[in-house]
Chains A and B, each alone.
Chain A
Amino acid sequence: MKKFIYIVLMGLILSCTDLDLRPEYGDTGNIAFQDVNNLERYLAKIYASYSLTGQQGPAGDADLALVNDEGFTSYIRAYWKAQELTTDEAVIAWQDAGIQDLNTHTWSSDNQFVKVLYYRLFLIISYSNDFLEQSTDDLLAEYGYNEEEFALAQAYRSEVRFLRAMAYWHALDLFRNIPLVTQITADFPVQTSPQNIFDFIESELQAIENELPDPQQNEYGRADKAAVWMMQAKLYLNGEVYTGNSYYTQAITALEKILDGPYTIEDDYQLNFRADNHTSNELIFTLPADGIQTQSYGGATFLINGAIGGNMVASNYGTSGAWAGLRTTKNLVQKFPDETGDIDSRAIFFTDGQSLEIADLTVFTEGYAVPKYTNLTTEGEPGSNIEFADTDYPLFRLADVYLMYAEAVLRGGGGSEATAVNLINELRERAYGDNSGNITIADLTLDFILDERARELYWEGHRRVDLIRFGVYTGGEYLWPWKGNNIDGASISEHLEIFPIPATDLAANLELEQNNGY
């Protein structure tokens, strides 16, 4: 009897606990980052946040929860849609909520594709801010890093700042009026002027420029000095759009640094867009994919599978999926001398069973298909997995540098017109196979540059920015099918040059103000 009561009392005392349980896998930062490899894995996560969607491939354990279909939440997929579907270069057939609104410029602040852009960018910014907070000198000393580990951590920090600057640049470009958040805080972020954001990006890039390895001296997939210069060039070239001030001289300076680098124009244009494009010496910075180890429904998998439908046979492009979505408008086709590609080989269109005109945006066979990207190697073999492409997304490419240089020269940034013509002719000689398409200084006009950019760089995620910089994205001066929700194209309001702040964030953050016009 006594024993029984003692047991009960003992049980009472023994079972009192401080209720502090920890997971048996996963750690808090102060424990995880004692291993420098975990810092590298966190860096990899931030890189991957531009193309992948979660902690499982191709989908699963998503990073973003507010869009139901995880496949939509790949940043590069959403970015591509924002840059291309809103222009003359691409249309999409699907009818997912809000996607047709990109074709027709009728998006609202609830549009889920706009949400992906916005939340992805701020997620990358938050990851980066957290990374920098977890790797301060004090903490690195606490983790007990040796000299070598300390140096590694510093290199990682510079790359994280590069990735954060890129997120800010995109946010500036897409949403313009955004908060500047550089540390994780529970306080509501407050919007600041575009000039402040611009200056922040500029100063960050200057600060890390000398910290990153020389061109091609970092591991493949990671940023180097050339990536910084390219971002500087893009920031400066579009600086007038963002701030009203011109930065063309600075653009030329950055571009010349790249031109002095080890990059060369490949003889084979399509090497930049196929399964083994990591071997291209023309690519400056890519988002790597791998059919087995880096799977997602974003990136090149989306661009390859999404562009196949109608009479196209998926296996001809090294894939198994025909998602029947993406085509182009006649405006792009007609920029080429010939739709077959016989003259300008950059014209890669599939026309069998496809019409040039688009009466119904939701019908895949209306509008030419564009199999520019494939999951085939140079030998014609499919990539490692016919469901998910090996093809890396070419974010920065040397041909773009050439065209930007020529444009910056024309816009008064200095440099040499003769060099600009030579650079452009290098691209056109590759396209024509000979010098029959070459231009002279007299041909070098801004209008020519805009069209040449379309011919060289179509479907690479530049078009919206280009049309805005050339002042023809909005308004009625330049029309294309379904611009402004009109089959022949119609004028659209200037406020559409930037996207609305998602309504969900306006609800969550009471400090935010919606962009004008929305």
Chain B
Amino acid sequence: MSLAYVSKLVQSLTSEKNVLLCMSRGLGLLRVIETYLCSLGEGVHILLNFTKHELCELETKLVVKDLSDCSPQTRVKNYRKGGLIYVTGRTITVDLLEQKLNPSEIKTLVVNSPEKLASAAHERFVLELMKQAQSISCLKLFSERPELLKSRILEEFEIQKVVCGSRQDSWISEELSNLPGVWVKETVAVCSRTQRINNMLLEMIKECISEIKRTLKVTCS
């Protein structure tokens, strides 16, 4: 059964050109990406920064061409055919520069986990090439680690809209309120000595942190 918040999030992606979708972790980001990719029409849609595992998950529902290990000829052939194409950032950059693919032919650029990207990564290069070619394609960024997203990423990708899907949002939490048939919560009892060791170790961590702060002259609220 597909969840309503997934479709709602996907719908809100279409209003602007450069959109970042940021969700609470564990709410099914890959499901949202999958639904979004399903909604795309014909043309070349480039998928970047996906792990092999994530790609396998997508491939169970969609036809995604993984061109990361293909020859240049195969890549050119597949660019011409269009569809959902996964390549590495480096490969697509070189292919665009070598005119194996015209930047204006890219309809959508989907970047997963932008928080993992280094500054001036290939993904940013691809965007620059698309801009230079005056491409009207869309850029969609998907992340479920909001705490790691820095303003640098928003600036570099010139994000026009951030779509948030927080677990605390009522339209999401209502849907997730279905509890399992039986849910037993039990507290694990630890002996006093274990607790003492635990407290000692935690104290030592705090001691280290205080020492670091003292050395670096950092203030923490």
Q: Do A and B come from one complex?
A: no
Residues of A within 8 A of B (CB): none
